[in-house]
Structure formats: structure tokens, C-alpha cells
Amino acid sequence: MYQARQVAANSPFTVVYLYQPGDGGLDRVAIQLANHLHRSGQRVELWMAHLEGPLAGAIDPALTVRRVLAPRWVRRLSMIAQFPAFAAMVRQYRPDVIYSAGNQSNMLVAAAALGTQSLAVGRISNPIVRPGQQGLSAWIRRLRFRAIARVCSMTIVMGEADRQLLAQQGPLSGRNVRLMPRPTVTRAMEKACSARAPACRADRAELVMVGRLAPQKDQATALKALAQLRHRDWRLRIVGQGPLRMALERQCAALGIADRVDFLGFVDCPVRMADLLAEADLLLQPSCWEGLAGTMIEALGCGAGVVATDCTRNIHPLLAAAGQHPPVPVGHVDAFARAIEWALAHPAPPALLAQAVHEHGLDRALDTYVRALMTVGAREYPVTGAWHAFP
């Protein structure tokens, strides 16, 4: 039960913008941040183009939520079309700070703040340049991200490589680029880690994949790799929903591993998610690209090992600190299979895994975000007491 909330009279008015409460990591972080700001006595509102979605129930009922009028087109076009309504709301409600949930909304937020007293805060939620991206497309993407960071009063990144790229000297140098932890590991996850067994079971390997069933996550590569390990006794749970579910189920049948794979769908309960990760020996992370791979941090926080593709340079230090196999090339089935075998043969102590992601503890990281938002630009505001955002 939370204590009576008291709004600090001199706190900044912050708007957290999220397109919709979807099932992705950036959606969860934005909602957690809005909840945390509200419960810590800050003036905050959550603005969304669409109010329905898998994580709508995670929004604090006492939090003010406003809808930004937008057509129900594909996300990219819808976000462009909603600019006039969003900009009008910024001028009507005059927030001190506008926080963008991630890459796709950074330009919208930065443009809406132009010509106003509102300060735009962007967040890099996926790689600036994706693995394998080269030539003109990579150059244009770098230019666009640097231009947006130049306009924003602050840009939050989750990896040193992204920070260096945006802060690089030049006419488009980011004005205030900050490397910050990803709010991820809940108290339930920390508790689950403390309660788990110290090493992999000798009989059957328990494996898990977590993420939207979509091309970016490339679950197909992991399934092909597991099909090479029929000599081992393993079981895989797949957590997530998305357009590729039927195709992945057919792939399991074609590979002859359907009896070893369970599709659990979307899991929105933090405690249930912690239990699933704590019951696993390994998280398989075969993504084509990621920002910092929140599910990887969650797994390590629950004491589970990780096998991952080289989906972002940001995960290299975490995997090394946790004593895990180095990331393997994206889409390389044989390398992924060998990494699984190595990881099962070399389990790291859960305490080591948890320590590697200690700074990504949910409340600790959210407090870091709050302090940054309180000091963005030339304005400084006091930070009130911390509150817990999730179990």
C-alpha cells in the first residue's frame, strides 16, 4: 500500500510520451518511469496515441493519461500524422520536460518542443546502426539520430558506443548525451535469483526465449540450432506473442522438436515472469538487433545464463562481466548451437550473474532517470523520496 502522495510544488511537469502500451521493452520502461515519477511526488502525465494494449493494466490508475489524436494507420505513418495534435497539446499544457519512450518517437517529441519552453528528452531504444547495416543507409541513419540528439535537451543511451557516436564533435554533436542503466530487474527477480539452485540440472536443460514473435527476434535461428542438439535432453519455453507464432509452430513440427517446445504467449505478471526465468538454465537471445536486450538483463538478474547473438555492441560488457559465452554472429545457426552446448557445460554462479546487472535494478535505475529529468537543461529541481514501481 502506498502512502498518501504529495506533489512537490516546485517539481517540473513531465510528460512521458508512449505510442501505445504494447508488449515491448520500451513500452514497459516508459510506463514504469511514469508510475515512478507519479509515486515519488512529481508532476507527470502519460500521453499515448492509443490507450489499449497488453501493458495497459500496468499503468497506475491514479496517473493522468491523455490521448493524442492519431489515425489508426501503421505506426510510422500514424506517428507522423499525429504531429499537429501532439504539438498543439504541448502548447496547451506546457510541460517542462517531454520524455520520448524510444527511437520511433524521438523525432516527434523533439519537433513538438521546438519554439516552446518544453525540453525534449530522447531515448535510444534500439541500435543507431543495426548489425550488418552499411553504406548510404547507415550514414543516413547516423545523421538522423545525431540531428535529433542535437535538438533534444538530453538523450539517454544504454551503451557506450551509442554515447560516443551521438556526442562526437561536430555541428550535430548531441547537447547532453547520458549513458544510463536500463530499469529492468524487479524485486521479484532478485528474490527468485536468491532462491534458485546454484547450477544447471544434470538431467534436463530448461531453456527459455522471451520476446515478440516477429522477424527482429529471429526465434527461427534458435529453433534450428536446438534441432542440432537432439542428443541432449532439453525443454524450451517461448514467452511472447506476435505474427510469426503459427510459422514458428510449423517450423518446430518440421524440425521434429514440437514435443520439446511450449508456446506460453504473452506473460504480463512480473512475478510469473521472474519464476519462468528463475526456472531456466539458459535464456536464448537470437535477435537480429536490440538496444540493450532487456530480457537478457532480466535473465541474468534471475540467475539464468544467456546465449545471445551479436545484436548490439552494448551487450558485450554485460556478457563478459557475467562470465557468459561471447555473442555469436546474427543468424549463424551452427555458432548458436555450439554456444548453447558451451553454456550448458559452463554454468556461472547465480550471484555472479546478478552482480553483473546490479545497476539495472528497477528502482535504482528509475531513480537515476528521475534525477536526470530533474536536472535536464539549465533547470534544477529537488528529487523527493524514492518509491517502488513494481514487485
Domain boundaries, the chain: 13-183+361-374, 187-358
DSSP-derived secondary structure letter, 213: S
**Across the strands, what pairs with 65?**
46
Q: Of 26, 17, 113, 117, which Cα lies nearest the Cα of 70?
A: 17
> CA–CA separation, 388 vs 273, rounded Å?
18
The pLDDT of residue 251 is 99
Fold match between domain 13-183+361-374 and domain 187-358: yes
> CA–CA separation, 248 vs 356, rounded Å?
32
Which residues of the chain, if any, have pLDDT below 50? 1-5, 377-378, 380-390
Q: Of 305, 260, 241, which Cα lies nearest the Cα of 278?
A: 305
> Is domain 13-183+361-374 given the CATH code 1.10.1050.10 in the classification?
no
- The three cell numbers locating residue 155: 538523450
Q: Of 60, 113, 121, which Cα lies nearest the Cα of 373?
A: 121
The pLDDT of residue 197 is 66
- The three cell numbers locating residue 248: 514458428
For the full predicted model, state whether its pTM sits above 0.85: yes
> CA–CA separation, 298 vs 110, rounded Å?
30
Q: What are phi and psi of 309, to 5 degrees?
A: -85, 165
> CA–CA separation, 291 vs 101, rounded Å?
13
Its CATH class, for the domain covering 187-358, is alpha beta
> CA–CA separation, 240 vs 5, rounded Å?
35
The pLDDT of residue 202 is 58
DSSP-derived secondary structure letter, 91: H
Tell me if 118 sits within 8 A of 131, measured CB to CB.
no
CA 25 to chain centre: 3
